[in-house]
Amino acid sequence: MIPQDLKYTKSHEYVRLSGDEATIGITDFAAEQLGDVVFVELPEVGRVLKKGESFGVIESVKAVSDLYSPIGGTVVAINESLNDEPSAINEDGYGDGWIIKLQAASEADLADALTPEQYQALIGA
Amino acid sequence: MSFSYLPHTEAERAEMLEAIGVASMDDLYQGVPERLRDFSLEAIPTAKSELEVTRLLTDLAGENRSANQFASFLGAGAQRRFSPSAVDWILHRSEFLTAYTPYQPEVSQGTLQVIYEFQTMIAQLTGMDLANASMYDGSTATPEAAFMAMRVTKRNKVVVASSVHPEYREVLSSYAVGPGLQVVQAPLSGGFIDRDRLRALMTDEVAGLIVQVPSFFGGVEEGRELAEIAHAAGALFIVIADPTTLGVLEAPGAYGADIVIGEAQAFGNPVSFGGPYVGYMACRDKLSRQLPGRIVGATVDSRGQRCFTLTLQTREQHIRREKATSNICSNQALNALAATVYMEVMGKEGIFELGNVSIQRAHALAAAICEVPGFSLALPGPFFNEFVVRSPLPVPELLGKLREEGILGGIALSGWYPELSDCYLVSVNELNTPADLDRYVATLKALTASAAVGAR
């Protein structure tokens, strides 16, 4: 099931906006397509991201992909537990498998983000 | 000068000359001596038979003199060492000699197994968790380690001890320009890293501290303290280690190194006009994703048989080249094979003996040289098999006279360290017999005695 309280990108990131803090990860669909995630390259805290900017790399047994920020803002937290347990992305991508948190995220950036329905349509689920 | 097989037209040549700002081809070649520019094909002798050519070239080659015809005490990063004959025999097997790089890696199980064994033994010697399949040489491994530290710490400055091989530091500085790495030299005191001044340099902007143990001067630093200084600043501790010393000296991993690099030429590879050499690079497991080059792992195939596979491959060679973190896309497979066979034939005991004999003889020679009037050790402190001698005679003259006596006495330091222009670096290993050492000292005595006579 696709969580209804999130926004999505065509490149399969999700964003959870809470006040001006945005939590970003990849969708279960993406994690399933990638297979077992073996490594995540995280950005440094304090980095300012523009909407659509690549902020990291995710490697699975099958592929290596860039991660793109659906929204602009400053990185205030990175999920360092992924260094030791990248499998959290496969097991609980919307929870423990989050990747970064941004502060001062601009809600306006999400104007063209996908709604849960649109994302569902995209992946044909 | 127009040749039918060169595709450039006169117009194109004129355009190129204009672009570089010279009027004619003659102007372009004005740096070439006149006698060479006027060279005529008529000057080339008439055809010779194969036998005549062979004789001519044999005579010419005979004018060269190999280090093996001397008692050689040259070191400074290039080592003439004993190599068991098994090394060459295995190296020249066609399966190995022809393989440049494993492009269909899993088909080349023998090559992968060799790389796996190389990695394993390098990791064991250095006390690290893993090593890659080898690097071009020790000097290029140095900036690769610095860049790893940059990526891990997200800082862009490294501190390198001034006792690191001067040419390694030059390579580091050259590489640093591209990615904007700032290189700071840590000053020395009596040949060893000045701890207080080092501490002042190790700010929270520093990604890594690079030291060489034994140093370019042969000195053995206390590694634990340096590791603590690096780690206190949040920097990685990078050690350049001569693997021939690691049978005796503590593994850098045991005293806190995060990355260990170096030159493995001494293991089965000749000193051959400066190359090809073989660098190595090893690190802690947590840094494995940042290790450039390739890593071979052992696994089992679908039938449960042990086999080898490229576990981590370089982005630089295959996918996502634009994301490459390094320009290292080849390893020195054949040279690493030589090193691997060498380590396997010598074994743990052999590598210990090698280090032990080298250190014993070096210390014996150093003590004997110090007894010759006017000679002394320039840098006090513990050393392994290399040491710096201060000479009462001008160094070029002394080394020249030793060479006339069949002794390559050492390497002058003035080019790299002007303050040590009256000093030279002596390297001793298992190929320097006790008789060689005696002859070295006797020759020094004779030379200084005759110099004294000359002075009167």
Instruction: Tell me the average pLDDT across B85-113.
Output: 84
Measure the CA–CA gap between B386 and B82, rounded to whole angstroms: 17
Q: What angle do CA A18, A24, A27 make, to 5 degrees?
A: 115
Judge whether residue B4 has pLDDT over 80: no
- Closest partner CB to A39 (pick from B289, B319, B323): B289
pLDDT in tens, B401-434: 999 999 999 999 999 999 999 999 999 999 999 9
Residue of B nearest to A38 (CA): B289
Buried b (16+ CB within 10 A) or exposed e, A77-93: ebbeebeeebebbbeeb
Reduce the DSSP state of residue B176 to 3 states and report it.
helix
The contact set of B with A (CB < 8 A) is 154, 286, 289, 315, 319-320, 323
- The torsion angles phi and psi of B67, rounded to 5 degrees, stand at -60, -25
Contact call for B154 and A57, based on CB within 8 A: no
Distance in angstroms between the alpha carbons of the first and the last residue of chain A: 9
Residue of A nearest to B287 (CA): A83
Give the E-state strand segments of B274-422 in sequence order: 279-283, 295-300, 306-312, 376-377, 386-390, 407-408, 411-412
Between β-strands B236-241 and B259-263, what pairing exists: parallel, antiparallel or unpaired? parallel
Judge whether residue B101 has pLDDT over 70: no
Measure the CA–CA gap between B199 and A19, rounded to whole angstroms: 44
Between β-strands A21-26 and A54-60, what pairing exists: parallel, antiparallel or unpaired? unpaired
Confidence band of B273 (pLDDT split at 50, 70, 90): confident
* DSSP letter, residue B313: -
Instruction: Tell me the average pLDDT across A49-69.
Output: 89
- The torsion angles phi and psi of B203, rounded to 5 degrees, stand at -85, 180
Confidence band of B46 (pLDDT split at 50, 70, 90): confident
Mean pLDDT in chain A?
Answer: 89
- The torsion angles phi and psi of A64, rounded to 5 degrees, stand at -125, 125
Contact call for B320 and A39, based on CB within 8 A: no
Q: Which amino acid is at B303?
A: R
Contacts of A57 in chain B (CB under 8 A): 323
Residue of B nearest to A44 (CA): B154
Measure the CA–CA gap between B185 and B160, rounded to whole angstroms: 5
Q: Give pLDDT, residue B3.
A: 67
Contacts of A64 in chain B (CB under 8 A): 315, 319-320
Instruction: Tell me the average pLDDT across A57-76.
Output: 89
Q: Give pLDDT, residue B456.
A: 43
Q: Give pLDDT, residue B88.
A: 94
Contact call for A44 and B320, based on CB within 8 A: no
Q: Which amino acid is at B404?
A: E
- Closest partner CB to B154 (pick from A44, A64, A83): A44
Confidence band of B194 (pLDDT split at 50, 70, 90): very high
Closest CA–CA distance from residue A105 to any residue of chain B (Å)? 23
Under a CB-based contact definition with an 8 Å cutoff, are residues B434 and B361 in contact?
A: yes
pLDDT in tens, B9-43: 889 989 999 999 999 988 998 889 888 887 778 87
- The torsion angles phi and psi of A106, rounded to 5 degrees, stand at -95, 120
Lowest-confidence pick of A45-59, B9-23, B311-325? B311-325
Measure the CA–CA gap between B182 and B173, rounded to whole angstroms: 8
pLDDT in tens, B49-90: 999 999 999 999 999 988 889 999 999 999 999 999 999 999
- Closest partner CB to B319 (pick from A39, A44, A64): A64
Element (H, E) at B237: strand B236-241
pLDDT in tens, B330-346: 678 899 999 999 999 99
Measure the CA–CA gap between A7 and A17, rounded to whole angstroms: 8
Residue B275 zone, left/alpha/beta (φ > 0; ψ -120 to 50; rest): left
Measure the CA–CA gap between B133 and B370, rounded to whole angstroms: 43
Closest CA to B386 of B423, B347, B350: B423
Contact call for B289 and A41, based on CB within 8 A: yes
Instruction: Tell me the average pLDDT across B197-225.
Output: 96
Contact call for A44 and B319, based on CB within 8 A: no
Contacts of B151 in chain A (CB under 8 A): none
Judge whether residue B325 has pLDDT over 80: no
Residue of B nearest to A41 (CA): B289
Contact call for B154 and A41, based on CB within 8 A: no
Alpha carbon dihedral A59, A60, A65, A68, in 10-degree steps, equals -80
Closest CA–CA distance from residue A119 to any residue of chain B (Å)? 27
Q: Give pLDDT, residue B35.
A: 82
Q: How many CB pairs under 8 A join A and B?
A: 8
pLDDT in tens, B119-157: 999 999 999 999 999 999 999 999 999 999 999 998 999
The contact set of A with B (CB < 8 A) is 39, 41, 44, 57, 64, 83
Instruction: Tell me the average pLDDT across A16-29.
Output: 90
Q: Give pLDDT, residue B25.
A: 86
Selected for mutation to probe chain B from A38, A54, A64 (highest B CB count within 10 Å) is A64
What Rg do the C-alpha atoms of chain A give, in angstroms? 13
Judge whether residue B307 has pLDDT over 80: yes
Q: Give pLDDT, residue B106.
A: 80
Contact call for B289 and A64, based on CB within 8 A: no
Q: Give pLDDT, residue B261.
A: 98
Closest CA–CA distance from residue B37 to any residue of chain A (Å)? 56
Q: Give pLDDT, residue B1.
A: 54
Reduce the DSSP state of residue B174 to 3 states and report it.
helix
Residue of A nearest to B320 (CA): A64
What Rg do the C-alpha atoms of chain B give, in angstroms? 25
Instruction: Tell me the average pLDDT across A51-61.
Output: 90
Distance in angstroms between the alpha carbons of the first and the last residue of chain B: 62
Contacts of A83 in chain B (CB under 8 A): 286
* DSSP letter, residue B100: -
Judge whether residue A1 has pLDDT over 90: no
Q: What is the DSSP string of chain A?
A: ---TT-EE-TTSEEEEEETTEEEEEE-HHHHHHH-SEEEEEPPPTT-EE-TT-EEEEEEESS-EEEEE-SS-EEEEEE-THHHH-TTHHHH-TTTTT--EEEES--GGGGGGSBPHHHHHHHHT-
The contacts of residue B204 (CB under 8 Å, 6+ apart) are B155, B233, B234
Any alpha helices (H) in B107-210, and if so which ranges?
A: 109-126, 138-153, 166-176, 195-201
| % of chain A at pLDDT higher than 70 | 99
Q: Give pLDDT, residue A125.
A: 60
Element (H, E) at B441: helix B434-455
Element (H, E) at B348: helix B333-370
Reduce the DSSP state of residue B179 to 3 states and report it.
coil
pLDDT in tens, B352-407: 999 999 999 999 999 999 999 999 999 989 999 999 999 999 999 999 999 999 99
CA distances from B439 to B365, B372, B443 (A): 11, 13, 6
Measure the CA–CA gap between B374 and B363, rounded to whole angstroms: 18
Measure the CA–CA gap between B266 and B254, rounded to whole angstroms: 23
| % of chain B at pLDDT higher than 70 | 95
Residue with tokens 């015809």: B69
Judge whether residue A102 has pLDDT over 60: yes
Confidence band of B324 (pLDDT split at 50, 70, 90): confident
Mean pLDDT in chain B?
Answer: 91
